[in-house]
């Protein structure tokens, strides 16, 4: 075909757009009919709907160039220079710049040679602060853009070259044939080629909540073949042909008009409030300092410098006051949260946790309950048929053709092949097993069919299910616990149905014998089957029953329940899903961390209890309950058993939602109107205390402090969406989860593994602790800097720290401190403590001890240096050298206090785990180098002079005394407030005994070296300080006496 012929037969983008106008269903239908309907569009897109596009990269690339790629244009991020300029919008920096400019002008006028230095130094310091802020913001934005790119990494099932393959949605092109099931998100605009019971929720695009039924019929014939990108498949399965991708699609057009907004997390909001309070305190000190300097100048004329004018004093006092505000306003607090969250979310990706909502990262750290699915989360989701009941006989291994008649094999082969939406992908290497795409339980049956019977399911499915002739598929639902396909044959209809064994057995009236005969399902056989199902369940097997029946054409339009009655039992298969090997240990770790783990599953209660016991969830004294019994409970009765409810089996998504709502109080009806929406036709006054999930006022009254549990919930199905939304943290499954579940969740567990959830808890606790470490460090610096500056101004002394010095301290305190302490990696020790309550104070008693002791030491030390330090250092009092030593000692106090701040508990060894945090070590080294440069080469710019080796050593030792003081300080008996911790169930305490031996071995192997280093340093520093200052201190004491 020539290029001109291609252009005549290929549809243009305008042709495709003609039937894809927003909210113009009738016009779209007319335009589609003009092009020959779905078949006409497929022909003109040169796509075979059964084979798909060919495996030819050149053809795919040609289509991508012609129709566009399935990617959306990303707005260009702000450049570093734009962020740098944005930094100057901060009010305090603007005031400081104005003051610096005034100082610069006046200084030049008064002393052209040196008068410009102070103003220029302040401007230079402001520029450095702005540059660091811009760099931090640029880095933060880059990290989150990277995370957002991972969120869009979605794969779909596509037919190319006649094979089913998994393809990233970004690789889709116009003409591709995409296979979709209930729960999938439609990745592009398209037309439904064929399917069964397909319905879409298009509310994200149209705002209409009603589900839209989809068929491949014309609009004029009452059909609706239009599949819209961004909508979700709420039921059924089908295949569609891609017609519009990327920016050309409906979702692409909508998304282009949207701007993503980053909201503060709860911790950020709490810290913003605290920062505001600290800032107000700083402004008060700044105002008091300004007034004190002015009053001292006015009231003590004898102390004035002869050349000093009143305006000079006012300007100097104003600059100092503004600098105090800059130092006092702890902009480092929100920065520390942002940095810690950005760092943690990036690292959590390596632990298979994709954070969709930032708040979830910190919330997960204080989770008190985890409601976990069984399949794929606690188990490996590697389903294998290991037992079977067939024709009245129980086989202890997977059945083979020798175990049954040809007619029964035919029925089973058709039932398994046709009544499924799963597929087997060809193995990557010779000898490997095919990979299952879709439901793993269905995949186990397909693998048994392939490996034990040599049956090609693909051919049977293609020939056995034809939507065009009227075949129907009733997809699996948690309510019905089964999945059914109806074949419309010439004489009658054949129905194949499979589902939970006990449910399927209850609707069977006959069964098939080994010879292929259909006989009545007598009581003895029914009892035998029930016994086999119980045995399978007690052996942790999932029991799945296959049935069939024939019905007349007149019953085709009956409801599924009628069609699925009086079935013939073909077989019951026991499917093994091995427990993940690391799950028992992960569950035990959660219990040690004070987290109540519950299993919520749709499986038989015996299967659920067996698996729960195996992994340590179901323990002595615990309660296991089935969904039907759970639903009959009153709110008060449920509250009574909640502390012991460990397993909820045969549960529906509504049961899971009810359980979560009762635990945390979210989504409970707040008034009569909301209650009646949930309980239509019921009497609010009479039944509000009797029906689950209860109502908010009653729930709050039943809780001591009016607050509930912090709940993490796993979910993988479309119907799990409400429970995931109701949870404090919704955890969807990356491998088995539907797009609807992922959209409703806060964290995506990429490997579906419960152990990854434990890592999410550990990282969440790490974020919370890192913020507290930074807060402990910053408040100490704040208290000392503000107290020292105010006291010196009030007593008439020249403030020891000028504006440039204060800005350097601010840089150390805010940005450097946030980087050093906000990026501390987590350790398993975090999982040895209980979760904190929602309203727990950010500053604990232990932290207050640190802040008070270290602040008092630093204030005492710096007062000593100001009052008598000049004599001890043998320098002139009030000289530049004197103030340089005070400044130098103050900075070293902060460097060593930063090490102390790494511990917010009674842990003395502040060097513990230091080898795992190169950022902290790098920041400490950078700060020391920066301090050296500032002191030795700052000159008139910073108002410092170079120090001798002896002076460096002595100021270093005085600052380093913070370290041994930190050890002594922790001997003061202070503990955290018990009311800050969430209560722990007695059931958990019994289930998870502490493994003290393992902790000791771990400490001996990992912590002894760092402890010995810390101990040695703490011993050497006081000795070295005494050698340098002992005689001088003793002389001062004798002088006092």
Active site residues: 373
Do residues 964 and 1021 touch, judged by C-beta distance below 8 A?
Answer: yes
C-alpha to C-alpha distance for 846 and 848, rounded to whole angstroms: 5
Residues 6+ apart with CB under 8 A from 740: 183, 185, 232, 718, 721
DSSP letter for each residue of 7-50: HHHSPPHHHHHHT--TT-HHHHHHHHHHTTHHHHHHHHTT-BTT
How open is the CA angle 521-527-533, to the nearest 5 degrees? 105
What's the CA gap between 571 and 109, in Å, rounded?
Answer: 100
Kindly state the tokens that stand for 468: 């065009």
3-state SS, residue 135: helix
Element of type H or E holding 766: helix 754-794
Side-chain-side CA neighbours of residue 11 (13 Å): 27
Residue 256 main-chain phi, psi, to 5 deg: -65, -25
- 3-state DSSP call for residue 945? coil
Around Cβ 323, how many Cβ atoms within 10 Å?
29
Distance CA 479, CA 485 (A): 17
Q: Which residues partner with 499 through β-bridges?
A: 482, 545
Torsion of CA 794, 799, 804, 806, to 10 degrees: -60
Q: Name the strands in the sheet holding 353-355, side by side, starting at the edge strand that comes first in the sequence.
A: 353-355, 747-749, 729-733, 711-715, 369-372, 596-600, 645-649, 623-626
CA Rg value for the chain: 36
The Cα–Cα gap between 920 and 626 comes to: 52
Sign of CA dihedral 835, 837, 843, 849: negative
Place of tokens 């795409």: 437
Nearest to 955 by CA among 890, 1024, 1019, 1031: 890
Q: What is the DSSP string of 182-226?
A: TTPBP-SEEEEEEEEEEEEE-HHHH---SEEE--SS-GGGT---E
Residue-by-residue DSSP string for 600-621: E-SS-HHHHHHHHHHHTSS-TT
Q: Of 328, 285, 114, which is closest to residue 806 (Cα–Cα)? A: 328
Q: Work out the burial of residue 343: count CB atoms within 10 Å of its CB; fewer than 13 is exposed, 13-18 middle, 19 or more buried.
A: buried
Nearest-angstrom CA–CA distance, 267 and 274: 10
Burial classification of residue 520, based on how many CB atoms lie within 10 Å of its CB (0-12 exposed, 13-18 middle, 19 or more buried): exposed
Q: Please, which residues have CB within 8 angstroms of residue 219's CB and are 6 or more apart in sequence?
A: 25, 26, 28, 29, 30, 32, 33
Q: Could you write out the three-class secondary structure of 710-741?
A: CEEEEECCHHHHHHHHHCCEEEEECCCCCHHH
Q: Is the peptide bond before 183 cis (omega within 30 degrees of 0)?
A: no
Q: 833 Cβ partners below 8 Å, 6+ apart? A: 593, 594, 765, 981
What is the 3-class SS of 649-684, one letter each residue?
A: ECCCHHHHHHHHHHHHCCCCCCCHHHHHHHCCCCCH
235 contacts 475 by C-beta, under 8 angstroms: yes
Sign of CA dihedral 246, 249, 254, 257: positive
């Amino acid at each position: 075909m020539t290029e001109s012929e291609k252009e005549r037969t290929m549809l243009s983008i305008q042709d495709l757009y003609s039937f894809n106008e927003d909210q113009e269903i009738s016009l779209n239908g007319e335009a589609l009919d003009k092009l020959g309907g779905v078949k006409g569009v497929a022909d003109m897109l040169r796509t075979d709907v059964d084979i798909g596009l060919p495996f030819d990269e050149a053809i795919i690339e040609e289509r991508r160039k012609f129709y566009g790629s399935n990617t959306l244009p990303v707005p260009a991020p702000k450049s570093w220079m734009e962020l740098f300029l944005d930094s100057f919008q901060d009010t305090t920096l603007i005031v400081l710049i104005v003051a610096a400019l005034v100082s610069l002008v006046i200084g030049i006028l008064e002393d052209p040679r040196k008068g410009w230095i102070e103003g220029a130094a302040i401007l230079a310091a402001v520029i450095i602060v702005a540059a660091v802020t811009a760099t931090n913001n640029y880095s933060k934005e880059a990290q989150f853009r990277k995370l957002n790119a991972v969120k869009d990494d979605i794969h779909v099932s596509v037919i190319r070259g006649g094979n089913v393959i998994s393809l990233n949605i970004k690789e889709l092109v116009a003409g591709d044939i995409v296979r979709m099931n209930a729960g999938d998100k439609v990745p592009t605009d398209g037309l439904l080629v064929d399917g069964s019971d397909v319905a879409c929720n298009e509310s994200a695009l149209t705002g209409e909540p009603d589900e839209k039924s989809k068929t491949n019929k014309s609009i004029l014939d009452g059909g609706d073949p239009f599949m819209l990108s961004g909508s979700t498949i709420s039921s059924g399965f089908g295949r569609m042909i891609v017609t519009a991708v990327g920016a050309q699609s409906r979702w692409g057009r909508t998304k282009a008009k949207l701007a993503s907004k980053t909201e503060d997390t709860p911790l950020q909001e709490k810290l913003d409030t605290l920062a505001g309070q600290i800032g107000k305190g700083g402004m008060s000190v700044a105002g008091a300092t300004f007034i004190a300097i002015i009053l001292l100048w006015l009231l003590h004329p004898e102390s004035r410098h002869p050349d000093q004018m009143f305006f000079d004093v006012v300007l100097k006092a104003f600059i100092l006051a503004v600098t105090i505000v800059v130092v006092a306003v702890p902009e480092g607090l929100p920065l520390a949260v942002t940095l810690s969250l950005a760092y943690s979310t990036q690292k959590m990706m390596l632990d298979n946790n994709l954070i969709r909502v930032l708040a979830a990262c910190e919330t997960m750290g204080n989770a008190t309950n985890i409601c976990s699915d069984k399949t794929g989360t606690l188990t490996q989701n590697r389903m294998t048929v290991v037992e079977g009941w067939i024709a009245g006989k129980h086989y202890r291994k997977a059945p083979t053709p020798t175990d049954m008649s040809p007619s029964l094999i035919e029925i089973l082969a058709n039932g398994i092949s046709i009544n499924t939406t799963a597929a087997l992908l060809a193995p990557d290497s010779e000898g490997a097993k095919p990979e299952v795409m879709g439901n793993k339980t269905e995949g186990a049956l397909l693998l048994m069919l392939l490996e034990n019977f040599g049956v090609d399911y693909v051919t049977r499915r293609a020939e056995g299910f034809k939507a065009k002739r009227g075949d129907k598929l009733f997809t699996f639902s948690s309510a019905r616990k089964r999945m059914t396909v109806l074949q419309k044959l010439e004489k009658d209809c054949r129905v194949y149905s499979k589902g939970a064994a006990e449910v399927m057995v209850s609707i069977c009236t006959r069964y098939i014998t080994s010879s292929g005969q259909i006989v009545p399902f007598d009581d003895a056989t029914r009892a035998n089957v029930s016994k086999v199902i119980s045995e399978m369940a007690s052996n942790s097997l999932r029991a799945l029953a296959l049935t069939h029946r024939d019905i007349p054409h007149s019953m085709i339009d009956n409801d599924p329940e009628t069609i699925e009655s009086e079935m013939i039992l073909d077989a019951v298969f026991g499917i093994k899903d091995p427990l993940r090997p690391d799950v028992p240990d992960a569950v035990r770790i959660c219990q040690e961390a004070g987290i109540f783990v519950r299993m919520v599953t749709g499986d038989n209660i015996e299967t659920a209890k067996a698996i729960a016991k195996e992994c340590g969830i179901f323990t002595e004294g615990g309660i296991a309950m089935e969904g039907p019994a759970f639903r009959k409970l009153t709110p008060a009765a449920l509250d009574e058993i909640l502390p012991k409810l460990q397993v909820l089996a045969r549960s529906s998504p509504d049961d899971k939602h009810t359980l979560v709502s009762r635990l945390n109080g979210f989504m409970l009806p707040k008034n009569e109107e909301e209650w009646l929406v949930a309980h239509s036709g019921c009497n609010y006054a009479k039944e509000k205390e009797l029906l689950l999930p209860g109502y908010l006022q009653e729930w709050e009254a039943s809780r001591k402090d009016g607050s509930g549990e912090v709940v993490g919930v796993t979910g993988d199905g479309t119907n799990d969406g409400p429970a995931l939304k109701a949870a404090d943290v919704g955890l969807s499954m990356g491998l088995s989860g539907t797009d609807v579940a992922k959209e409703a969740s806060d964290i995506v567990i990429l490997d579906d593994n419960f152990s990854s959830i434990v890592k999410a808890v550990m990282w969440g606790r790490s974020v919370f602790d890192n913020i507290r470490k930074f807060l402990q460090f910053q408040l100490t610096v704040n208290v000392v800097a503000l107290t020292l500056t105010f006291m010196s101004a009030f007593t008439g002394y020249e403030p020891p720290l000028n504006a440039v010095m204060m800005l350097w301290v601010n840089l150390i305190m805010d940005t450097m401190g946030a980087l050093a302490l906000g990026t501390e990696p987590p350790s398993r020790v975090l999982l040895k403590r209980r979760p904190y309550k929602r309203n727990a104070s950010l500053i604990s008693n232990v932290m207050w001890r640190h802040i008070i002791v270290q602040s008092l030491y630093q204030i005492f030390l710096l007062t000593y240096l100001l009052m008598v330090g000049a004599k001890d250092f043998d320098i002139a009092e009030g000289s530049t050298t004197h103030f340089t030593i005070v400044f130098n000692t103050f900075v070293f106090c902060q460097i060593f206090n930063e090490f102390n701040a790494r511990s917010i508990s009674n842990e003395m060894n502040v060097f513990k785990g230091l080898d795992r945090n190169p950022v902290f070590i790098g920041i400490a080294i950078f700060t020391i180098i920066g301090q050296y440069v500032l002191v030795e080469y700052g000159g008139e710019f910073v108002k410092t002079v170079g120090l001798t080796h002896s002076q460096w050593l002595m100021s270093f030792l005085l600052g380093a005394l913070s370290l041994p003081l930190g050890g002594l300080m922790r001997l003061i008996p202070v503990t955290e407030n018990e009311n800050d911790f969430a209560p722990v169930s007695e059931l958990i305490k019994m289930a998870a005994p502490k493994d003290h031996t393992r902790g000791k071995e771990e400490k001996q192997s990992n912590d002894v070296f760092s402890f010995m280093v810390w101990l040695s340093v703490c011993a050497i520093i006081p000795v070295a300080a005494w050698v340098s200052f002992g005689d001088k201190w003793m002389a001062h004491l004798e002088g006092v006496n």
